[in-house]
Amino acid sequence: MAEKAYTVKLGDVSRLLGKIAKEKYDVIVPTTQDGDVLYLPFKDGMGVVMDHGNPLTPPKEFFLPQTDELVKYKKEGKGFKAEVAKSSLDCKRVLFGIRPCDVHALMCIDLPFKDTYDDSYYLQKRANTLILAMTCNEPGDNCFCASMGCGPDLDDNYDLLFTNIGDMLYVKVGTDEGKNLIDTAPEFFDEADKKDAKARSAKIKEVENKFKRKLDTKKLGRLKDKFDDPTWQEMADRCIKCGGCNYICPSCYCFNVVDRTYGDDGVRERSWDGCMLEGFTRMAGGANPRQANVERMKQRYYHKLQYFNDRYGRHLCVGCGRCTDVCPVEINMVDYVNKIIGGA
Amino acid sequence: MASEYLPKQAEILSVKKETADTSRFRMKFVDPADREAFEYQPGQFVEISVMGAGEVPISITSSPLIDKGYFELCIRDTGKVTREIHKLGEGDIVGIRGPYGNSFDIKSMQGKEVLFVVGGLGLAPLRPVINGVVASRDEYKGVKILYGARTPGDMLFNEDLDEWSKIDGVEVLTTVDRADDSWKGNVGVVPKLFEKTEIEPKKTVAVICGPGIMIKFVMKDLLGMGFKEKDIWLTMERHMKCGIGKCGHCNIGTKYVCIDGPVFTFDQIKDLPDPY
Amino acid sequence: MEKVITTCPYCGSGCSYFLCVEDGKVIGVAPNRVHPISKGRLCVKGWNAHEFVHHPGRLTKPLIRKGGNLVEASWDEALDMVANRLKGIKEKSGSDSIGVLSSAKCTNEENFVMMKFARAVIGTNNVDHCARLCHASTVAGLARAFGSGAMTNSIDELEHADVILVTGSNTIEQHPLIAVRILKAVRDHGAKLILVDPRSIQLSKFAVIHAKHKPGTDVAWINGVMNVIINEGLADEEFIKTRTEGFEEMKKLVMDYTPEKVEEITTIPADTIREIARTYARASAASIVYSMGITQHTTGTDNVLSCANLAMITGNVGKPSTGVNPLRGQNNVQGACDLGALPVVYSGYQSVADENVRKKFSEAWGAEMPSAPGLTVVEMVNAAADGKLKGLYIMGENPMLSDPDLSHVKEGLEKLEFLVVQDIFLTETAELADVVLPAESYAEKTGTFTNTERRVQLVNKAVEAPGEARPDWDIVSDVARRMGYDMKYNSAEDIMTEINKLTPSYTGITYQRIRENWGLAWPCPTLDHPGTPYLHKDKFTRGLGSFHAVPFKPPAEETDDEYPFILSTGRMLEHFHTGTMTRRSDTLDREVPKGFIEMNPKDADAIGVRNNWPVRVTTRRGSVVTTARVTDGIPEKMLFMPFHFREAAANMLTNPALDPIAKIPEFKVCAATVEGVQ
Ligand SMILES: Cc1cc2nc3c(=O)[nH]c(=O)nc-3n(C[C@H](O)[C@H](O)[C@H](O)COP(=O)(O)OP(=O)(O)OC[C@H]3O[C@@H](n4cnc5c(N)ncnc54)[C@H](O)[C@@H]3O)c2cc1C
Ligand code: SF4
Ligand code: SF4
Ligand code: SF4
Ligand code: FES
């Protein structure tokens, strides 16, 4: 859309978000706490970090929380009463600073969560959250979003898109809701001129050349003939089965469901689960189709880079590099996959 | 907010013990509107829950043609949730979601002989399929039911097996892994029953359900006999949580067993990484 | 959403992460990339360390036994009862008829308060905790050899060792975030890993040498390795001369342990012994890593002394990336020892036998300090069974699963006149108590844990406690006050101030400093001291390092025709200790829902058992039914069983025979037999 573009001074961002938060929105921002960058609800006076590497814990925690209540129940006599837990988001929320890769990750999760049945808990949070995305200026050591077509720029699926072009943010408008947001605080926005637009393009170009890692995506098709490649075993031998690569992945969406009863009242809740864990596929009696760690390792990689694409037409990996960051034994996704597919 | 995860209440009408660890639960929805809305096909399953213990997928073993006003589940006590279900009896309320999953397209089998190869609890999901086929027996070339259980005491649905065997053109063969004194029939694994009957692979559709290891051997034999891959139907079992294609537990390759299955023809799954 | 930084309550690695809090509940865990140990990474236990916090089984009210049943009571009623009963026993039978078990799960502050309670309020040195069961021999052995019973070097240094000798530690499963340093050293820095372990474990795949010795023969193989080092001129003469004493005597003994003789004892081929000796001795920085495979023997102290010998003979102490590194099992087992929850020392290992020390504590605490050494964990159980110990106050420990020979433990606990158990769940031990007091979990309180590399780190309150649960230190000081002793603290930090005053090695460790530095490693004697990442730099803590001549002694119980298998017990990745927390974590309990016993396929064949089939395991103490896990990772005639599972409690079977010095039981070797069951 040939929308107008704007700029915001870096120094104004905190006040801008403060004003938005005073309107009807909850605002979530990247901020520093205990030395690391995290997404947290914005509070007055909170430092919003703008030139940061991506937070390790991905924003999926606000759409598919690590633990989320599904159903509340009460045991009564021979039966029970049950109702939908109020874990859904009924107010509007603004997520500021989300990176292009993580926006793509939400687009990934949208697909299964709309497939055949709607996952209303997730979809409601999606619908009620405005995406104020921010393009990346500093790819992390393990980032490869550019290889996956998921960064460093973002084409759509945002309400507003910011780019840090020095002492100001360049703002692209993606939706009417995004434009409305600007209209609630017009005093912070200036109209962008050609020079600003140029600065933005130059910035994106510059970042594109900064990636240290590239996944040879053209050769990913070879994976289907690599099921018996010995590298999988090499990776499995190293893996300490922490599940971290699943938990931390912005596009991993698998969950477990458990009941917790306190007296007569209880809650059925779901929590992040992962295909790297042995119990994920074990069935009653002990039979397990993916008993060996190497089978689980393959499931994760093939699901990410082949199966999901075959079903939904896009890869389930956005190249954020978190699974490598979080892996205690440093199983580097790009290095190993390139090795397997004979990539660069 | 509407939620596909919210279970509906169903009351247990009766419990019939089938074997030492398996019982058949007859139930109906408490709310007439739920009863009305509950339409299912042979091969589909429900998610049944006991609040506090959890939720598990169970095939519907009743038949939409025969069983009106109620439905039936045949459940083996194998773990946390199923153990709790077995503690329940008449009048107790459970949670039900569904029906979920696809079903057997028995119309497509018309004109052919239908060969059921079944092990143990596998008879529960196939029972409505068999009932569906024998209900219009004339549309099919013939029906063969090969059924094996661990011991004679583990045989399910003995009355049904009896009834079916009385129908013209329906052949029922049974076997057990381990016999006892009362058993006069066949002893050995299910594939051994292939020797006891005539099978014309070109004119037959095979429907298989049983433990993974049985399926593996049966598949080998059927393919060896010359069955076409698309003429072999099977149901797959996987660890499940949501039943609606979200939680990822039942994912194999490009498929979710819960929404794309549990019923597959062999050509649909033969390229999956670890089908059984 | 709020994120509260804290320290993991499980193993001694000491990882840190954020607890994610929503509406007053912890809903998850978020790693922190700048923490020096975890670096944004965690093991599966850490990733799920929020799950047990709101478990429905949490204790929320005090319980009192009435008419045989535990029923809810008010704090006043429960605490008055505890105070009165303990006072009564003290008056009637004397202070030493009461014992106190402190906890390696609780904070430093709580351990300090508990040991103060034992000594100043009860007036006994009968205070101990489950360090007795894992690393008592480390504390005893390394104190004798080096003067300080802790890990000599820091975790990160492992990455830069060029030889790492791991023995008696299934490091990947038990200390995952330490193991990853070993894997990194091997893959990225070309380090050589030597593994001496009877079983094939995940580390085996990365080892240049994996020697499988017969369990219980550690002294022999180490003597053999030293024999080769001496004979081949690989010893560090300079180091031996300037930094140590006792070498000649040890040399004399070791000369008998030729590789061939050692092969006979240990089954490790003589050439492998030589290879280990050469690889280890030629390294420029070689690190020994061990854990309970070394300590949990009747010869535990001997084994530890042998490790110290080996490090000293090659000069691998007091330098970066070298040393003798015992990996402590629990989150705060190091701290519980440091803070004096031991029968012979006060905080900072200040000896009870030392009159000046006693005087210092008497003055500080306004009570006469007892001088007789106290009883250890297993001795307390024995004393209870003999009727000599009459009252026992247990804080956050579960001897009914963790101690050897559980039938005997039960007998002892049941004989007590009064048992009070303070915990977060109704444990197997709490079920036997007269009074049960509900405590706060790590997510609900503030305090410090000291990890295995002596790093003191903060635990921060993230949520409110369930029901009426209170912090352990608060409960203990309340009991003290009700017994007429003035013990009052306003916060955990308040207690740390007292620790600073009375404990030289912790003097410089304040909350503010550890908050700013991600912890500090003791010794940290002053407020501007940077902490001590590795010990014994130019001088051993005790002055000269001391060699010990240690002859090989067989385990207390050897196999025979009736009990032809060696049974070893231990831990696994997904579960922790007695499972009080991990078995109440949905994810972890799903991962490994039941106990098992590992056995070799040949042995399984011989008794007609297949993988996953039920088996009965029997020793002279008892018998349990569990599931067979058939694997060729375990040698023939050996069995291995994790002890986390109450339904298949390994400690029904273990031998309570003790190491004579450290009083640690022999969990790693006993004679057993196994059979299939229908
Ligand atoms: C499509 C389908 C149809 C089924 N039909 C029947 C039937 O008609 N009768 C019957 O007795 N059983 C049936 N099962 C198997 C039944 O679901 C399991 O026996 C049951 O889930 C075991 O749960 P548990 O809690 O008792 O056992 P646990 O071992 O305690 O299992 C814990 C959890 O793991 C999951 N899980 C474990 N095993 C299985 C499994 N085999 N399949 C799916 N999820 C599992 C469940 O979420 C379960 O709650 C069916 C399974 C599937 C997938
Ligand atoms: S698989 Fe790894 S790189 Fe890809 S999206 Fe997930 S965490 Fe990021
Ligand atoms: S993060 Fe690494 S160690 Fe953990 S499960 Fe994934 S691959 Fe394995
Ligand atoms: S259990 Fe140990 S390795 Fe695992 S996260 Fe906790 S401290 Fe780290
Ligand atoms: S059971 Fe959840 S995706 Fe199939």
Q: How many alpha carbons fall within 13 Å on the CB side of residue C406?
A: 22
Residue C219 lies in a domain: yes
Residue B64 lies in a domain: yes
Is beta strand C2-7 parallel, antiparallel or unpaired with respect to B251-252? unpaired
> Which one of B44, B68, B100 terminates a domain?
B100
Nearest-CA distance from A11 to chain B in Å? 40
Span A135-160, mean pLDDT?
Answer: 94
CATH number of the structural domain spanning residue C82: 3.40.50.740
Which positions ≥6 away from A77 have C-beta within 8 Å?
none
* C6 vs C8: CA distance, rounded Å: 7
Residue B111 lies in a domain: yes
Residue C527 lies in a domain: no
Question: Looking at the structure, do residues B159 and B140 belong to the same domain, yes or no?
Answer: yes
Q: pLDDT band for C428, please (50, 70, 90 cuts).
A: very high
Distances (CA, A) of C525 to C147, C255, C335, C354, C512: 17, 42, 16, 20, 16
CB contact under 8 A, B238 and A115: no
| Measured distance between the N- and C-terminal CA atoms of chain B, rounded to whole angstroms | 38
User: Is residue B223 packed enough to be buried (19+ CB in 10 Å), middle (13-18) or exposed (0-12)?
Assistant: middle
Q: Residue B51: which of A120, A259, A275 has the nearest Cβ?
A: A259
* A110 vs A118: CA distance, rounded Å: 10
Tell me, what DSSP letter sits at residue C464? P
Question: Looking at the structure, do residues C320 and C349 belong to the same domain, yes or no?
Answer: no
List phi, psi (to 5°) of C530: -80, 0
Question: Looking at the structure, do residues C193 and C299 belong to the same domain, yes or no?
Answer: yes
The H or E element that residue C447 is part of is strand C447-450
Dihedral angle sign, alpha carbons of residues C628, C629, C634, C636: positive
Asked if the interface predicted TM-score (ipTM) of this complex is over 0.90, the answer is: yes
Q: Write the pLDDT tens digit of every residue in C626-637.
A: 999 999 999 999
- Does residue A52 surpass a pLDDT of 90? no
Question: Looking at the structure, do residues C304 and C157 belong to the same domain, yes or no?
Answer: yes
Residues B19, B8 contacting (CB under 8 angstroms): no
* C629 vs C617: CA distance, rounded Å: 13
Structure tokens at B107: 């119309």
Question: Looking at the structure, do residues B81 and B115 belong to the same domain, yes or no?
Answer: no
CB contact under 8 A, A289 and B4: no
Question: Looking at the structure, do residues C469 and C369 belong to the same domain, yes or no?
Answer: yes
Q: Give the range of the structural domain holding residue C643, as residue numbers without chain letter.
A: 565-676
Residue C53 lies in a domain: no
Cis before C523 (ω within 30): yes
To test the pocket of ligand 4, the residue of C5, C6, C7, C8 to mutate (highest count of ligand atoms within 8 Å of its CB) is: C8
Span C219-242, mean pLDDT?
Answer: 97
Residues C102, C131 contacting (CB under 8 angstroms): no
Residue B3 lies in a domain: no
3-class DSSP state for residue C2? strand
> Which one of B100, B116, B141 terminates a domain?
B100
Residue C655 lies in a domain: yes
Question: Looking at the structure, do residues B162 and B200 belong to the same domain, yes or no?
Answer: yes
Question: Looking at the structure, do residues C576 and C604 belong to the same domain, yes or no?
Answer: yes
Which positions ≥6 away from C251 have C-beta within 8 Å?
C230
Name the CA dihedral angle for B93, B95, B101, B102, rounded to a multiple of 10 degrees: 30
CATH number of the structural domain spanning residue C242: 3.40.228.10
Q: How many domains does chain B have?
A: 2
In the prediction, which pLDDT does C647 show? 86
Q: Which of A2-11, A17-26, C48-57: highest mean pLDDT? A: C48-57
Helix ranges restricted to H, C536-652: 586-591, 601-606
Name the residue type at position A13: V
Residue B273 lies in a domain: no
| Residue scoring higher pLDDT (C500 or A53) | C500
Question: Looking at the structure, do residues C511 and C573 belong to the same domain, yes or no?
Answer: no
* C287 vs C185: CA distance, rounded Å: 12
Question: Looking at the structure, do residues B86 and B176 belong to the same domain, yes or no?
Answer: no
In the prediction, which pLDDT does B276 show? 56
State the count of interchain CB pairs (< 8 A) between A and C.
120
A143 Cα: distance to centroid of ligand 2 (angstroms): 9
Is beta strand C655-658 parallel, antiparallel or unpaired with respect to C665-666? antiparallel
Question: Looking at the structure, do residues B20 and B134 belong to the same domain, yes or no?
Answer: no
Q: Smallest Cα–Cα separation from C456: which of C543, C519, C515?
A: C519
Tell me, what DSSP letter sits at residue C342? B
Q: How many domains does chain C have?
A: 4
Question: Looking at the structure, do residues B91 and B113 belong to the same domain, yes or no?
Answer: no
The nearest alpha carbon in chain A to C45 belongs to A242
Residue at token pair 């990474």: C41
CATH number of the structural domain spanning residue B197: 3.40.50.80
**Residue of C39, C189, C459, C591 to mutate, testing the A interface (most A Cβ within 10 Å of its Cβ):** C591
CB contact under 8 A, A257 and B9: no
Beta-strand runs (E) in B135-258: 142-149, 170-176, 186-187, 204-209, 232-235, 251-252, 255-256
Structure tokens at A328: 């205690």
Q: Looking at beta carbons, which residues of chain A come within 8 Å of B244?
A: 116-117
Q: Write the pLDDT tens digit of every residue in B224-269.
A: 999 999 999 999 999 999 999 999 999 999 999 999 999 999 999 8
* C161 vs C615: CA distance, rounded Å: 43
Q: pLDDT band for A1, please (50, 70, 90 cuts).
A: very low
Beta-strand runs (E) in C102-154: 127-128
- Does residue A132 surpass a pLDDT of 80? yes
- Does residue B59 surpass a pLDDT of 60? yes
Residue B254 lies in a domain: no
- Does residue A88 surpass a pLDDT of 80? no
* C289 vs C12: CA distance, rounded Å: 14
Question: Looking at the structure, do residues C365 and C317 belong to the same domain, yes or no?
Answer: no
The H or E element that residue C640 is part of is strand C638-642
Asked if the C-beta of A253 comes within 8 angstroms of chain C's C-beta atoms, the answer is no
Question: Looking at the structure, do residues C323 and C409 belong to the same domain, yes or no?
Answer: no
Dihedral angle sign, alpha carbons of residues A284, A286, A292, A295: negative
Q: pLDDT band for C196, please (50, 70, 90 cuts).
A: very high
Question: Looking at the structure, do residues B114 and B12 belong to the same domain, yes or no?
Answer: no
CA angle A96-A201-A154, nearest 5°?
A: 40
Q: Residue B6: which of A84, A113, A116 has the nearest Cβ?
A: A84
Residue C546 lies in a domain: no
Span C195-213, mean pLDDT?
Answer: 96
Tell me, what DSSP letter sits at residue B182? T
> Which one of C272, C302, C327 terminates a domain?
C327
Question: Looking at the structure, do residues C120 and C142 belong to the same domain, yes or no?
Answer: no
Distances (CA, A) of B157 to A89, B18, B27, C595: 49, 7, 18, 35
To test the pocket of ligand 4, the residue of C5, C6, C7, C11 to mutate (highest count of ligand atoms within 8 Å of its CB) is: C11
Residue C535 lies in a domain: no
Structure tokens at C214: 């017969």
Residues C212, C296 contacting (CB under 8 angstroms): no
Question: Looking at the structure, do residues B222 and B133 belong to the same domain, yes or no?
Answer: yes
- Ligand number with the minimum distance to the CA of A104: 2
User: Is residue C622 packed enough to be buried (19+ CB in 10 Å), middle (13-18) or exposed (0-12)?
Assistant: middle
Is beta strand C418-423 parallel, antiparallel or unpaired with respect to C435-438? parallel
CB contact under 8 A, A33 and C31: no
Distances (CA, A) of C493 to B97, C257, C459: 52, 53, 11
Question: Looking at the structure, do residues C277 and C254 belong to the same domain, yes or no?
Answer: yes
Which positions ≥6 away from C655 have C-beta within 8 Å?
C404, C405, C556, C557, C619, C620, C621, C665, C666, C669, C670
Residue C622 lies in a domain: yes
Residue C370 lies in a domain: yes
CB contact under 8 A, A273 and C30: no
Could you count the other beta carbons within 10 Å of the beta carbon of residue A230? 9
Question: Looking at the structure, do residues C495 and C590 belong to the same domain, yes or no?
Answer: no
Q: pLDDT band for A91, please (50, 70, 90 cuts).
A: confident
* A157 vs B252: CA distance, rounded Å: 29
Residue B96 lies in a domain: yes
Distances (CA, A) of C330 to C55, C89, C131, C135, C402: 21, 32, 9, 10, 13
In the prediction, which pLDDT does B274 show? 67
Q: Residue A82: which of B1, B6, B82 has the nearest Cβ?
A: B6
Q: Give the range of the structural domain holding residue B210, as residue numbers without chain letter.
A: 106-235
Residues A274, A301 contacting (CB under 8 angstroms): no
* B276 vs B234: CA distance, rounded Å: 10
Q: Write the pLDDT tens digit of every residue in C569-605.
A: 988 888 988 888 999 999 999 999 999 999 999 999 9
CATH number of the structural domain spanning residue C18: 2.20.25.90
Question: Looking at the structure, do residues C454 and C470 belong to the same domain, yes or no?
Answer: yes
* B132 vs A222: CA distance, rounded Å: 45
Could you count the other beta carbons within 10 Å of the beta carbon of residue B202? 10
Question: Looking at the structure, do residues B84 and B116 belong to the same domain, yes or no?
Answer: no
Could you count the other beta carbons within 10 Å of the beta carbon of residue C91? 9
Question: Looking at the structure, do residues B88 and B113 belong to the same domain, yes or no?
Answer: no
Which positions ≥6 away from A266 have C-beta within 8 Å?
A72, A73, A74, A75, A259, A260, B51, B52
Q: Looking at beta carbons, which residues of chain C come within 8 Å of A65?
A: 22, 27-28
Question: Looking at the structure, do residues B94 and B179 belong to the same domain, yes or no?
Answer: no
Residue B2 lies in a domain: no
Residue B255 lies in a domain: no
**Within the 268-287 window of chain A, which residues sit less than 8 Å (CB to CB) from chain B?**
268, 270, 273, 275, 280-285, 287
To test the pocket of ligand 3, the residue of A233, A276, A295 to mutate (highest count of ligand atoms within 8 Å of its CB) is: A276
Question: Looking at the structure, do residues B157 and B177 belong to the same domain, yes or no?
Answer: yes
User: Whole-model pTM?
Assistant: 0.95
| Residue scoring higher pLDDT (C482 or C650) | C482
CATH number of the structural domain spanning residue B44: 2.40.30.10
SS3 assignment for C373-407: CCCCHHHHHHHHHCCCCCEEEEECCCHHHHCCCHH
CB contact under 8 A, B254 and A310: yes
Q: pLDDT band for A53, please (50, 70, 90 cuts).
A: confident
In the prediction, which pLDDT does C578 show? 83
In the prediction, which pLDDT does C388 show? 96
List phi, psi (to 5°) of C638: -125, 145
Q: Smallest Cα–Cα separation from C137: which of C289, C247, C292?
A: C292
A333 Cα: distance to centroid of ligand 5 (angstroms): 26
In the prediction, which pLDDT does C490 show? 96
In the prediction, which pLDDT does C82 show? 98
Span A36-57, mean pLDDT?
Answer: 90
Q: Residue B242: which of A257, A259, A284 has the nearest Cβ?
A: A257
Residues C328, C151 contacting (CB under 8 angstroms): yes
Tell me, what DSSP letter sits at residue B59? E
